Structure 1
Amino acid sequence: MKRYYFSAAGVLFSMSISAAELPDRQAQLPSVAKEANAQYLMPSPLSSIPKGEFGDKVRKGYQLFVNSQQMRDTYVGNELNCVNCHMNAGNKANASPLWGAYMAYPAYRKKNDKVNSFEERIQGCFTYSMNGKAPESGSEPLVAISAYSYWLVMSGLMNQFGITGPVPEMTDVELLKGGNREDFPLPETVTSKLDQKELTMLPGRGFPKLAKPELAYSVERGEAVYQAHCQTCHADDGQGYKMANVSALPPLWGPQSYNWGAGMHRVNTAANFIYENMPLGKSIQLTVQQAWDVAAFVNAHERPQDPRYKGNVAETQAKYHQHEGFYGKPSSINGPELLGANAYPIFPVSKQSKQ
């Protein structure tokens, strides 16, 4: 039996949790029902980022977010950029925007059984979604991405409530914590309208929860959906396209995509994202059934190994993959071989670095 104590929104929680209650620590991205006529935050334009040291951090965070490949072989181990999943530079509602995520941390996560700061949440993204290596605590990439995330949400809140003036600056230490804490500095105009719980659940945060399909999702039907709606951008082999040897449209499976520990390898998480945001520029074009089917097709392919793998696929599957996914299972694409048995390397060195 494990007992956890943590504070969020000024309230102390005590949780007694047995190992049996935590069979799967691979936390999924939040998904809630989409609100009709929801008012989404509208952060200020990038041109309004101030000059000076703080503004430089915000701009650096934006640059790293939209062009994560500049961290390849240092912290990034595949051909993805953060913006591939957090669209419009992390600013798009219902595509897990940074302005929603920042206010949700610190938060308890089953994934590592502890209260995670925003910094630690970003580190997890590098480890799993980017199939890379988590930047060191307090390092420039973590400070910069935190600064950019903070600037988005604070400027958005100030715009929503008619607060003029520059976004208040924060120290690196404070930026890395996140906004879900009682000592997080917010204008009184904001706190008089929204309590801490409401701030952690801003409309548009995460991916909207998709209804269950009428039929059990099908890899075979998903392949037909992929060919009709997805392969134009992601290629018939799912490896995307490059321009000037830089990935322009991301690979969805194989050695250069997200690994078996990333949240997107869950069929339900991928379905939520795909329905709302894909095809790119033409979202909400697929039916609910099509979104589930193509999510299954994408995630029924082999990809890089789960970083928590200790040499036994069955044990990893039993401990971390008790959800809607294909790790440790056969698929019609992969044949009788269990997915994960021939997974690609974690944090591989790129061909450019070898040259």
Structure 2
Amino acid sequence: MRSLIACATLAASLLLAPLSLASEREDDYINTLTELGYPAPKDAELVHIPPTLDALEQSDMHPELKRVIRRGHDLFTNTQQLRGENVFNNMNCSSCHLGEGRMPFSAPVWPAAVTLPGFRGKNGHVNSLEERIAGCFTFSMNGKPPAYGSDTMLAIAAYHQWLAKGVPMYPEKPIYGRGFPAPERPKALSYARGEKLFADKCSICHGDDGQGLAVRGKTVFPAPWGDHSNNWGAGIVRLQTAAGFIKNNMPLGQPLSLSDQEAWDIAYFMNSQERPQDPRYTGDVKETLEKFGPTFHKHSMYGQKRESDGKLLGDHANTGEKDFLKPDTIRPRTFD
């Protein structure tokens, strides 16, 4: 495990080192990524090197603004400090958005700051940056979002916007390294192969039972399923999202070391395990699937029978560690 962490630390240090003149350092940045196996940017793609906290300290921004951005970074990388209030599993924001939310091909968070407000198919209306962050708390953290306009929400949003410094709003070019780009889906997925691959490649960090690893109450490796994981409404329950994350980032420190088939099989196995109920649950799994299948669950295993034993996934009212299903932030928006 130490060797894996060392590899990840080395890669992160190369990618996240302070950059004085981005135009002069961009070649080094891209070379580091391509040496790790990532594709080089296409001519039409926007390449952005997010600023570091060191660069923040060197800036001439107001000291109070710097303090708020640092607080946002602290909350992003240690979201567990909100456990029991806003977070009800063992996730941090940085559990999925690696490298402090800066890492390309690991859903870097700065694009949200320059593409929102924007329409989101998941909830069918235009979302603000705060609403997008609230969605992560609701689904990925199985929690209750900080109040809109609160100190906590302001700090996290400010950190997102700091990482996007220098990028124009609504960029016309496609963003290089955005999201979790999924490899091409194989013709057939195998639960049995995924189960064995998880045991061989993933369990050393995430546990044989998928419950992750916490030391003295601090998350070291998150749980990929179960009550300590994301709920059925989180983006990573979609097979292509999970396969993209796994292919580009796992095992830790060994990105792109798995074949496309292996990444998809692990995603298939992992997302065929139970987790807390989708906060949009209507009280009936089939009805919920019909309602949200066209926009979301058509890509997940929710409401499907598990290959290994025929269990109907999501057919329960378990909400994990929280004592509620849906926070009041999950609501429609209309401009009528």
2:312 maps to amino acid = L
Is 1:263 aligned to residue 235 of structure 2?
yes
Aligned match of 2:55:
48
Q: Give 2:179's aligned residue.
A: 206
Distance in 1 of aligned mates of 2:122 and 2:84: 25
Secondary structure in structure 2 of the residue aligned to 1:233: helix
Match of 2:136 in 1: 125
The alignment covers a number of residue pairs equal to: 276
Contact 2:41 2:176 in 1 (8 A): no
Which of 281, 284, 288 does residue 309 from structure 1 map onto? 281
Deviation for aligned residue 1:104: 1.8
Q: Secondary structure at the match of 1:305?
A: coil
What's 2:299 paired with? 324
TM-score normalised according to structure 1 size: 0.74
The match for 2:221 is 249
Residue 164 of structure 2 aligns to a residue whose secondary structure is: helix
Equivalent residue, structure 2, for 1:339: 313
Determine the C-alpha separation between the residues in 1 that align with 2:271 and 2:259.
18
2:230 partner letter: Y
Give the match for residue 91 of structure 2.
Answer: 80
Larger mean Cα displacement after TM superposition, 269-278 or 321-330: 321-330
Distance 1:54 1:299, change over 3 A: same
2:193 to 207, 212, 221: 221
Task: Note the aligned Cα RMSD (angstroms).
Answer: 1.8
Q: CA deviation at 1:245?
A: 2.4
Report sequence identity in percent: 42
How far is 1:101 from its partner? 2.3
| Alpha-carbon separation, structure 2, partners of 1:89 and 1:107 | 24
Q: Say if 2:263 is the partner of 1:291.
A: yes
Verify the 8 A CA contact 1:76 1:347 in the aligned structure 2: no
CA contact (8 A) 1:100 1:204 kept: no
Equivalent position amino acid for 1:337 in 2: K
Find the residue that maps to 1:108 and give its secondary structure.
strand
Separation in 2, partners of 1:330, 1:44:
45
The verdict on how the C-alpha distance between 1:37 and 1:337 changes in structure 2, with shifts beyond 3 A counting, is closer
Q: Deviations over 1:87-135 (max 9, x none)?
A: 0000001111012222221110122211101111000000001100122
Q: Name the CA distance, whole Å, in 1 between partners of 2:149 and 2:321.
A: 21
Q: Is the Cα–Cα contact under 8 Å of residues 219 and 296 in structure 1 kept in the other structure?
A: yes
2:172 aligns to what SS in structure 1? Answer: helix
Q: Is the 8 A contact 2:110 2:164 kept in 1?
A: yes
The equivalences for 1:168-207 within 5 A come to 179-180=169-170, 196-198=171-173, 201-207=174-180
Partner of residue 103 from structure 2, selected from 86, 92, 109: 92
Deviations 1:192-241 (A, max 9, x none): xxxx322xx3211111231121x311111101111111111101111111
Contact 1:80–1:257, Cα closer than 8 Å, also in 2: yes
- Please identify which structure carries the higher helix content: 2
Cα distance in 1 for residues equivalent to 2:307 and 2:41: 41
- Using the alignment, how far apart are the partners of 1:41 and 1:234 within structure 2? 32
What is the identity, as a one-letter code, of the residue corresponding to 2:265?
D
Name which of 61, 72, 78 aligns with 1:67: 78
Return the letter of the residue paired with 1:341.
Answer: D
TM-score between the two structures when normalised by the length of structure 2: 0.78
* Alpha-carbon distance between aligned partners in 1 of 2:129 and 2:321, rounded to the nearest angstrom: 22
* Letter aligned with residue 151 of structure 2: E
> Structure 2 CA distance, aligned partners of 1:324 and 1:202?
23
Query: In structure 2, how many angstroms separate the alpha carbons of the residues matched to 1:72 and 1:223?
Result: 30
Aligned-residue offset at 1:323: 1.6
- Residues 104, 177 of structure 2: 8 Å contact kept: yes
Q: Secondary structure at the match of 1:323?
A: helix
Relative to structure 1, the CA distance from residue 249 to residue 228 in structure 2 (aligned partners, 3 Å threshold; closer, same or farther) is same
Distance 1:126 1:104 in 2: 20
Q: Is residue 182–residue 247 contact of structure 2 (8 Å, CA) maintained in 1?
A: no
SS in 1 for 2:110: helix
Structure with greater strand share of residues: 1
**Which residue matches 1:230?**
202
Aligned residue runs from structure 1 range 342-353, under 5 A: 342=316, 344-345=318-319, 348=322
Whether the 8 Å contact between 1:331 and 1:339 is mirrored in structure 2 is: yes
For 1:36, give the aligned amino acid. Answer: A
**Residues 302, 343 of structure 1: 8 Å contact kept:** no
User: Cα gap change, 1:241/1:347 in structure 2, threshold over 3 Å: closer, same or farther?
Assistant: closer
